[in-house]
Chains A and B, each alone.
Chain A
Amino acid sequence: MRAAMPMVDDPHRTSEVRHPVSMTLFAVQLLNGLQLGVLLFLIAAGLTLVFGVMDFVNLAHGVQYMVGAYLAVVFTTLVGNFFMALVLAMSAALLIGLLLEVTIYRRLYDRDHLDQVLATFGVILFLNELARVLFGPSPLTVPVPEALSGAVLLMNGLLYPVYRIALIVAGLAVAVGLWLLVTQTRIGMLVRAGATNARMVSALGVNIRQLFMIVFGFGVMLAGFAGFTAAPILSVEPGMGDSLLILAFVVIVIGGIGSIRGAFFAALIVGLVDTLGRTFMTDIFKLFLSPSAATDVGPAVASMLIYILMAAVLFFRPTGLFPAKGS
Chain B
Amino acid sequence: MAKTASPATPSTAPRPSRILEGTWIPLVVFAILAVMPAVSVALDDSFLTLFVIRVMIFAIAAVSLDLILGYGALISFGHAAFLGIGAYGIGILSAEGTDEGLIAVPVALVAAGLFALVTGAISLKTRGVYFIMITLAFAQMAYYTTTSLSAYGGDDGLTIWSRTEFLGHAILDDRTTFYYVTFACLLGAYLLCRMIVASRFGRVLTGAKQSEVRLQAVGIDPYGYRLVAYVISAMLCALAGVLLANQTEFVSPAYMGWHRSGDLIVMVVLGGMGTLHGAIIGAAAYLVLEEVLQDFTEHWRLIFGPILVLVVLFGHGGIVRLLSILSGGRNRG
Q: What is A's interface to B at a CB cutoff of 8 Å?
A: 51, 57, 104, 107-108, 111, 113-115, 117-119, 121-130, 132-133, 242-243, 246, 249-250, 252-253, 257, 296, 299-300, 302-304, 307-308, 310-311, 314-315, 318-319
> Which residue from B132, B137, B266 sits with its C-beta under 8 Å from A250?
B137
Query: Once the chains bind, are B308 and A318 in contact (CB under 8 Å)?
Result: no
Does the CB pair A118–B136 fall under 8 Å? no
> Is there contact, CB below 8 Å, between A125 and B258?
no
* Given known A128-B301, A304-B145, contact A122–B312 (CB-CB < 8 A): yes
Chain A residue with minimal CB distance to B300? A129
User: In the complex, what distance in Å separates the CA atom of A165 from the CA atom of B314?
Assistant: 48
Given contacts A57-B132, A296-B150, contact A310 B137 (CB under 8 A): yes
- Determine whether the beta carbon of B134 is less than 8 Å from that of A122: no
Give the interface of B toward A (CB within 8 A).
69, 75, 77, 119, 122-123, 125-126, 128-130, 132-134, 136-138, 140-141, 144-145, 147-151, 258-259, 262, 265-266, 269, 299, 301-302, 304-309, 311-313
Q: Provide the bound-state CA to CA distance between A127 and B305, in Å.
A: 8
Which residues of B have CB within 8 Å of A115? Answer: 312
| In contact, A126 and B302 (Cβ under 8 angstroms) | yes
Q: Could you tell me if B138 and A51 are in contact, using CB atoms closer than 8 angstroms?
A: no
**Chain B residues closer than 8 Å to A108, beta-carbon distance:** 312-313
Residues of A within 8 A of B311 (CB): 118
Give the contacting residue for A129; candidates B258, B305, B307; CB below 8 A. Answer: B305
Given the interface contacts A117-B75, A303-B145, A314-B134, does A57 sit within 8 Å of B305 by beta carbon? no
Please state if A300 and B148 are interface contacts (CB–CB under 8 Å).
yes
Would B262 and A121 count as touching, CB distance under 8 A? yes
Q: How far is the CB of A65 from chain B (nearest CB, A)?
A: 16
Please state if A314 and B122 are interface contacts (CB–CB under 8 Å): yes
Residues of B within 8 A of A118 (CB): 262, 265-266, 269, 308, 311-312
Known pairs A129-B302, A253-B133; A114 contacts B144 (CB<8 A): no
CB-contact partner of A307 in B141, B147, B265, under 8 A: B141
Cβ contact within 8 Å between A113 and B75: yes
Please state if A311 and B122 are interface contacts (CB–CB under 8 Å): yes
Flag if A307 contacts B302 (CB, 8 Å): no
List 12 A-B residue pairs with CB atoms under 8 Å apart, sorted by A's residue number.
A107-B313, A111-B312, A113-B75, A114-B269, A122-B304, A125-B305, A126-B302, A126-B305, A127-B305, A129-B299, A129-B302, A249-B133
Q: Which residues of B contact A51 (CB under 8 A)?
A: 129
Within the complex, what minimum Cβ distance (angstroms) separates B179 from chain A?
Answer: 31
Contact present for B130 and A303 (CB under 8 Å): no
A310 contacts B308, C-beta separation under 8 Å: no
Who on chain A is nearest to B77 by CB? A117
Distance in Å: Cβ of B241 to nearest Cβ of chain A:
20
| Contact (Cβ within 8 A) A126 B301 | yes
Closest to B149 in A: A300
User: Residue of B at shortest CB range from A253?
Assistant: B133
Do A318 and B309 touch across chains, with their CB atoms under 8 A apart? no
Residue of B nearest to A119 (CB): B312
Other than the known A122-B305, A246-B258, A314-B126, what 20 A-B pairs have Cβ atoms closer than 8 Å?
A108-B313, A113-B132, A117-B265, A119-B313, A121-B266, A122-B306, A125-B259, A126-B305, A246-B140, A250-B137, A253-B133, A257-B130, A307-B138, A307-B141, A310-B137, A314-B125, A314-B134, A318-B126, A318-B130, A319-B130
The 6 closest A-B pairs by CB, nearest first: A126-B305, A122-B308, A125-B305, A303-B144, A307-B141, A129-B301
Q: Please give, as numbers and ranges, the residues of chain A lying within 8 Å of B299 by CB-CB distance.
A: 129, 132-133
**By CB atoms of chain A within 10 A, which of B133, B147, B307 has the most?**
B133
CB of B269 within 8 A of CB of A123, answer no
Q: How far is the CA of A111 from the CA of B316 in the complex (A)?
A: 11
List the A side residues contacting B262 at CB < 8 Å. 117-118, 121
Which residues of A are found within 8 Å of B265, using beta-carbon distances?
114, 117-118, 121
**Are A104 and B145 touching (Cβ within 8 A)?**
no
Whole-angstrom CA separation of A108 from B69 in the bound complex:
19
Q: A121: which B residues are within 8 A, CB to CB?
A: 262, 265-266, 308
Chain A residue nearest to B144 in the complex (CB):
A303
- Nearest neighbor of A303 in chain B, beta-carbon distance: B144
Chain B residue with Cβ nearest A130:
B302
